[in-house]
Amino acid sequence: MDMNNIEGIVDDMMGINGAMAAAVIDWKSGMTLGMRSRGDFNVEIAAAGNAEVIKAKMATMKSLGISSTIDDILITLTDQLHIITLSDEQPELCLYSVIDAEKGNLALARNRLHALAK
């Protein structure tokens, strides 16, 4: 992930069909490095909460002796898809995207997020 182009990455994330919100997060610190949203969705609060989700999953994997890495975490709500995609090159960073479940396509969104995370 090109740290010099975080705003461009966030813009690309918002170009995904059905995108409601997007952020690049340093999940270890919980800091949001770039974000956008449509409507009144509070990306900063959501990003901080999802940083805690990643920390909890990492701790659980460590306790279980799992040495694999997380590709992404998907949280499905009745009307939204929340996708957290970890960066391969900078493991402390992740992409967080909120997609309208009726307007978006999960497979296409995941493909685009994985491409951007590289």
How far, in Å, CA of 50 to CA of 111, rounded?
20
Question: What pLDDT is recorded for position 111?
Answer: 96
pLDDT higher than threshold 70 for residue 64:
yes
The kind and range of the H/E element at 50 are helix 43-64
Q: What residue spans define the domains of the chain?
A: 3-117
**Among 48, 46, 8, 2, which Cα is nearest to 26's?**
48
Question: What pLDDT is recorded for position 79?
Answer: 96
Under the banding of pLDDT at 50, 70 and 90, the label for residue 88 is confident
CATH number of 3-117: 3.30.450.30
Which pair of structure tokens corresponds to residue 8? 């461009």
Average pLDDT over the chain, rounded to whole? 94
How far, in Å, CA of 16 to CA of 99, rounded?
8
For residue 72, the cross-strand partners are 85
pLDDT higher than threshold 70 for residue 59:
yes
If phi over 0 gives left and psi between -120 and 50 gives alpha, with beta otherwise, what is residue 30? left
Mean predicted confidence (pLDDT) in 36-45: 92
- Tell me the pLDDT tens digit for each residue of 73-85: 999 999 999 999 9
Which pair of structure tokens corresponds to residue 50? 């999802």
How far, in Å, CA of 50 to CA of 56, rounded?
10
Mean predicted confidence (pLDDT) in 60-87: 96
